């Protein structure tokens, strides 16, 4: 590898490819694969997002991927949706409030690593989302979790919102574990006096249709968790994804799905025999932006949008 | 530490306590805390189970904990429930079939680390669970995921089944991400021609009642994932758990909830100020049995059951 | 697995073996292998010790292994030797002084995770080791690092000392990176006005003799680092070790020797083709005592000492 | 963060800084600190290199850092020096030979993760280094390991060699664990019939002089291991380093020095109170090139060379 001042990301990725082994090799191959996934007009991309990607600064990247037509399906946690809404309603994520969790609680701060939230932002969130739920409960027929998230998206005005962008660009968002979040909690509290019943398995109707209608599916998996498994397992009925990238710090030795090498998915037909799979070990909040920047450059000559 | 032949677990744990630092100290403190949790007649224990604990050999341990009255609430993944049912219907988990995932798929094997399943066992599972769903759809009023799991439990005959033991001992099982499993998939397929609609947020009614009725709550958290968060977050409305143990290999640096130190939960009021929290870094399939064996010995003099 | 009150370690290990997969399987296989290594009268055992095993409470275990004739060679860091001497001279390791490292320094404390040392103990160490170096510089012909450690051992009176026990039981201790420790620093300061010159490569003469005279070599590797590599590489000239166990938290993906799976050693002839190798992922301060306790039980029926 | 096609590294690093939390924040702060270290005319930089950085493709980066006057001291393993020499003598590192270690051995390949070496290259290495040792044993007075490495450097012709560049630019290379490498092994074999005796602690004379003559010291620590400790501990006598960056995948929980947070060094006076310390969790073969590229850009306006 040769490192010089004033490098471009594309040059940098090429240097990683020259090394071509260990982490450098994995990042290079993931970049190359993501570029091919983007360029392939027949491939629908499922983006799986676990971990605090929105609080961690990835919100705009995801919204831009939706607006640019790069991704066709999103699978994430209720928490990432909650944090997207928190920002949509004027809240923010904060830094440098220390690590004394009892004191943080007293001063109305919640901590995620070195990221902080304020309870006053959550109060705004609660009022706003309750108001939106009142509207959508009356105007839409909502059966599935995806319906619910879509309907919320139609009431958001913040142009940087993932949920709004997804609604406007017909990118369905699945959040199978939505109940396990502040958004889920608000829905439950709303349902104390309303009846916005979401069928826990109803999403599979639409999601399986998307899978069957896709000539190919590529998965981009940030972190592990429920979203990783759902992204892969939803492709099981069709024989598995055709390509996948995962970026994770989870280990493989415990047998957890999050840390499992992508190859393991082949035994379950969640990835096709012969599919191109790259697992990158590292922090997705650094390595996904890097891989994406490199892939955009590689793909830029003949990128095809509007899949 | 002094290690001799013919040691008892209780002596061994004492030796870890004599060292008292690094991993030894953490395992000792977790054992001591679990013992206190078991002995406290006012404390309800929430057991959160992520990762392949049932395929990994923990099924009997969990069933025994239920039967013994040691745990009052279980939160787990659809996958662990699926594997409990797989064994209940005569299936098994296998070893030593190698690591060529494409070949494994061809020979009808699914792989979880070094654990193997057979597609023929899944075929039996599909038939049996469909038959059970037919029964419960007609006989019960099922609204929540917990209702659904309970109803299944009343139709299982295998005495080693977690789901059966839980149903018989009134230990509710929550699986907020149930759709993301073979059990969830079977429910969805069943619903193509039936109407067994589970409200995604309905579990919170019962779960919040349990939280409010518990004088104290202790959480025992195996792995991270959705179950960890749900176990802690469900206690938020009451100011957080009073004690918790987590055993995980997840790292803290990515900000994921799974790897977050338990202390962080205090900032969110998911753990009380002053609560006793021990995070152990390691493989739960080794360390939970060890900690449990030690805690049973510590607690044996004056254990109080039937909380 | 079945966990009951009042278990013995031997029962517990059997239960891990019944599970037989993931971490449980690895711990069981490592225990079984260590038992076989202990029982094999033709096998010399090289114990490689990296990380703060002496501060972490493993000192007595190692001393007992030497006294019991279980291990024939030790390879470790200068730091572990320093901490053995610190305790031999009346010093100790302390707990519960908090994590403000600037304050710790001001109050004369050094921190290793949650273990603390006192500068007053290091002052005693400096006086005592200087006094010992004065004696051995006059009385012995010291060429190698092992000679130096052995000579120190003949001047220690603490019966719990690893270095003393090793000297008395003819178990050579190798510390190829000795300079990188307080002991090495004291040697350097002593040499400002003396000439106790240790040939950096002289240990290989004796060590290679031991390797060639051993019918078989088994390696027990705690942590990674220099000691791991040295233990394996010293066996290269003879075609590699015949058996090995490693317990580590290092990852394999960075390509570091510490995290490399033991199998990789076969490509270098540091482990023989067909050798029995078990890598356990976890904290050696918990898992080595556990594996050792289990192996002592398994081996107890027909253990052969005095190899 | 905003990611667009055709980005420059400097823009990318700015985007990480905009996120500013979790891994992104750590990489940004490390880049900023490295830039400040490079720009500070009073700061000598100690580069500590553990793990297979030369086989992993970092050789040219390190050689360029030496030639550019960016680093003043190198501390590394015997293995990295061996691999530098292997390439200097015409050998190479190879890819894509599979993971069957017994077969690899049979076909004369050694494996380091997904990197391969050939025994024929090691044969050339042995001949060449023996020839060089014959020359330097006669022409130089060699007392310390650093002397030895320097003398080798004066006989290398490959312009990309780290050892040659270091010799030509008066950058001392310390390898306290040199015996634990093929280079150390060759030195030992050479000494069967020669007397090239290296004093194990002699390096400390020169190294402590450098420390005391440095107005400030900054440490750049790739991986953990012996080199990390040596880089920090050599600054102990003067109150510790003034700044440090570490990039590692080692965990902190085991108490190993490799995984210890840099802050811990403050308790030992290996880092000064108030020193700027950034620990980045990740693979150094990806993140060090990234951080370096960013730091070169940040520093380029007013970089001062020839410290």
Reported confidence tier of residue B3, pLDDT bands at 50, 70, 90: very high
Residues of A in contact with B102 (CB under 8 A): 266-267, 273-274
- The nearest alpha carbon in chain D to A292 belongs to D3
Mean pLDDT of chain D: 95
Q: Which of A56, A286, A300, A305 to mutate to test the interface with D (most CBs of D within 10 A)?
A: A286
User: Which residues are within 8 A (CB) of C166 and not within 5 positions of it... i.e. 6 or more apart?
Assistant: C66, C74, C149, C150, C153, C172, C173
Reported confidence tier of residue D301, pLDDT bands at 50, 70, 90: low
* Of the partner residues A102, A230, A273, the one whose CB lies closest to the CB of residue B180: A230
Q: How far is C293 from chain A (nearest CA, A)?
A: 23
Residue A152, pLDDT score: 98
Q: Tell me whether residue A67 is one of the annotated catalytic residues.
A: no
* Of the partner residues D22, D26, D254, the one whose CB lies closest to the CB of residue B22: D254
A152-177 average pLDDT score:
98
Task: Mean pLDDT check: name the lowest of A82-91, A132-141, B129-138.
Answer: A132-141
C72-92 average pLDDT score:
98
Reported confidence tier of residue D303, pLDDT bands at 50, 70, 90: very low
Residue B237, pLDDT score: 85
- The nearest alpha carbon in chain D to A61 belongs to D2
Could you tell me the CA-to-CA distances from C251 to A253, C248, D158, D259 in Å, in that order?
Answer: 10, 8, 33, 12
Residue D305, pLDDT score: 46
Q: How many CB atoms lie within 10 A of CB D168?
A: 15
Q: Looking at this predicted complex, what is its ipTM?
A: 0.96
Q: Check CB contact under 8 Å for D22 and B254.
A: yes
- The nearest alpha carbon in chain D to B279 belongs to D253
Q: Helix, strand, or coil here: D171?
A: coil
* Of the partner residues D56, D109, D191, the one whose CB lies closest to the CB of residue C267: D109
Q: Check CB contact under 8 Å for D201 and C188.
A: yes
Q: How far is D25 from chain C (nearest CA, A)?
A: 22
pLDDT at B303 exceeding the cut of 90: no
pLDDT at B302 exceeding the cut of 80: no
Q: Check CB contact under 8 Å for C255 and A21.
A: yes
Q: Check CB contact under 8 Å for C50 and D223.
A: no
Q: Check CB contact under 8 Å for C22 and B52.
A: yes
**All chains having 3 or more CB pairs closer than 8 angstroms to chain C:** A, B, D
- The nearest alpha carbon in chain A to C251 belongs to A251
Q: Check CB contact under 8 Å for D251 and B255.
A: no
DSSP structure string for chain A: ----TT-BHHHHHHHHHHH-SHHHHHHHHHHHHHHHHHH-TTEEEEEEE-SSTIIIIIHHHHHHHHHTT--SEEEE-HHHHHHHHHHHTT---EE---S-HHHHHHTTEEEETTEEEEHHHHHHHHHHHHHHHHHHHHH----SHHHHHHHHHTT---TT-HHHHHHHTT--EE-TTTTSSHHHHHHHHHTTSS--PPBTTTHHHHHHHHHHH-SEEEEEEES-HHHHHHHHHTTGGGT-EEEEEEEE---STT--TTTS-TTHHHHTTSEEEEEEEEEEES-HHHHHHHHHHHHHHHHTTS-----
User: Which residues are within 8 A (CB) of B105 and not within 5 positions of it... i.e. 6 or more apart?
Assistant: A266, A267, A268, A269, A273
Residues of B in contact with C1 (CB under 8 A): 57-58, 60-61, 289
Reported confidence tier of residue A301, pLDDT bands at 50, 70, 90: low
Q: Report which of A273, A225, A290, A243 is spatially closest to residue A75, judged by C-alpha positions.
A: A225
Q: Check CB contact under 8 Å for B267 and A56.
A: no
Residue D304, pLDDT score: 45
Reported confidence tier of residue B301, pLDDT bands at 50, 70, 90: low
Reported confidence tier of residue B300, pLDDT bands at 50, 70, 90: confident
* Of the partner residues D18, D61, D297, the one whose CB lies closest to the CB of residue A1: D61
Q: How far is C196 from chain D (nearest CA, A)?
A: 9
Distance of alpha carbon D194 from the chain centroid: 30
- The nearest alpha carbon in chain B to D279 belongs to B253
Q: How far is C19 from chain B (nearest CA, A)?
A: 5
Residues of A in contact with B115 (CB under 8 A): 255
User: Which residues are within 8 A (CB) of D212 and not within 5 positions of it... i.e. 6 or more apart?
Assistant: D237, D238
pLDDT at C306 exceeding the cut of 50: no
**All chains having 3 or more CB pairs closer than 8 angstroms to chain D:** A, B, C
Residue keyed to tokens 């690593």 = A113
Mean pLDDT of chain B: 95
Q: Check CB contact under 8 Å for D284 and C176.
A: no
**All chains having 3 or more CB pairs closer than 8 angstroms to chain A:** B, C, D
Residues of B in contact with A228 (CB under 8 A): none
Mean pLDDT of chain A: 95
Q: Summarize pLDDT for D65-115 with one digit per residue, the tens.
A: 999 999 999 999 999 999 999 999 999 999 999 999 999 999 999 999 999
- The nearest alpha carbon in chain D to C80 belongs to D256
Q: How far apart are CA A132 and CA C94, in angstroms?
A: 57
Q: Summarize pLDDT for D278-295 with one digit per residue, the tens.
A: 999 999 999 999 999 999
Q: How far is D251 from chain B (nearest CA, A)?
A: 8
pLDDT at A254 exceeding the cut of 80: yes
Q: Report which of D39, D48, D44, D120 is spatially closest to residue D77, judged by C-alpha positions.
A: D48
Q: Report which of C203, A262, C263 is spatially closest to residue D103, judged by C-alpha positions.
A: C263
Quick one: tokens of B63?
């069933």
Q: Which of B57, B204, B254 to mutate to test the interface with A (most CBs of A within 10 A)?
A: B254
Residues of A in contact with D15 (CB under 8 A): 289
Residue C301, pLDDT score: 59
Reported confidence tier of residue C141, pLDDT bands at 50, 70, 90: confident
Residue C303, pLDDT score: 47
Q: Summarize pLDDT for D247-288 with one digit per residue, the tens.
A: 999 999 999 999 999 999 999 999 999 999 999 999 999 999
More confident residue, D141 or D298: D298
Identify the active-site residue in D118, D266, D270, D303: D270
Q: Summarize pLDDT for B192-249 with one digit per residue, the tens.
A: 999 899 999 999 999 999 999 999 999 999 999 899 999 999 999 899 999 999 999 9
- The nearest alpha carbon in chain C to D197 belongs to C199
Residue A304, pLDDT score: 45
Residues of A in contact with B184 (CB under 8 A): 200-201, 204
pLDDT at D302 exceeding the cut of 60: no
Q: Check CB contact under 8 Å for D260 and C101.
A: no
DSSP structure string for B216-256: EEEEEEES-HHHHHHHHHTTGGGT-EEEEEEEE---STT--
**All chains having 3 or more CB pairs closer than 8 angstroms to chain B:** A, C, D
Q: How far is D176 from chain A (nearest CA, A)?
A: 26
Residues of C in contact with D178 (CB under 8 A): 200-201
Positions of C marked active-site = 270
Residues of B in contact with C58 (CB under 8 A): 1, 19
* Of the partner residues C176, C184, C252, the one whose CB lies closest to the CB of residue D201: C184
Phi/psi of residue A67, each to 5°? Answer: -60, -35
């Amino acid at each position: 590898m040769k490192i010089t001042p004033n490098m471009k990301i594309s040059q940098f990725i090429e240097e990683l490819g020259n090394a071509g082994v260990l982490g450098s090799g994995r990042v290079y191959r993931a970049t190359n694969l993501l570029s091919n996934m983007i360029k392939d007009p027949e491939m629908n991309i499922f983006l799986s997002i676990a971990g605090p990607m929105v609080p961690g600064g990835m919100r705009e990247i995801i919204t831009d991927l939706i607006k640019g037509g790069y991704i066709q399906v999103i699978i994430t946690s209720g928490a990432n949706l909650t944090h997207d809404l928190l920002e949509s309603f004027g809240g923010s994520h904060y830094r440098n409030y220390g690590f004394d969790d009892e004191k943080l609680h007293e001063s109305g701060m919640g901590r995620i690593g070195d990221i902080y939230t304020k309870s006053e932002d959550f109060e705004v969130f609660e009022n706003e989302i309750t108001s939106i739920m009142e509207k959508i409960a009356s105007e839409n027929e909502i059966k599935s979790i995806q319906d619910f998230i879509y309907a919320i998206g139609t009431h958001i005005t913040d142009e940087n919102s993932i949920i709004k962008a997804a609604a406007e660009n017909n990118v369905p968002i699945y959040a199978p574990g939505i109940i396990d979040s502040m958004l889920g909690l608000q829905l439950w509290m709303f349902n104390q006096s309303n009846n916005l019943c979401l069928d826990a398995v109803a999403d599979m109707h639409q999601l399986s249709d998307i899978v069957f209608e896709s000539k190919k599916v590529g998965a981009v998996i940030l972190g592990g968790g429920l979203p990783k498994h759902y992204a892969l397992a939803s492709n099981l009925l069709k024989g598995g994804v055709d390509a996948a990238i995962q970026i994770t710090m989870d280990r493989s030795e415990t047998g957890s799905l999050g840390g499992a090498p992508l190859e393991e998915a082949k035994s379950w037909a969640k990835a096709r025999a012969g599919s191109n799979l790259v697992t990158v070990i590292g922090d997705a909040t650094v390595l996904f932006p890097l891989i994406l920047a490199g892939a955009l450059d590689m793909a830029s000559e003949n990128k095809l949008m509007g899949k």
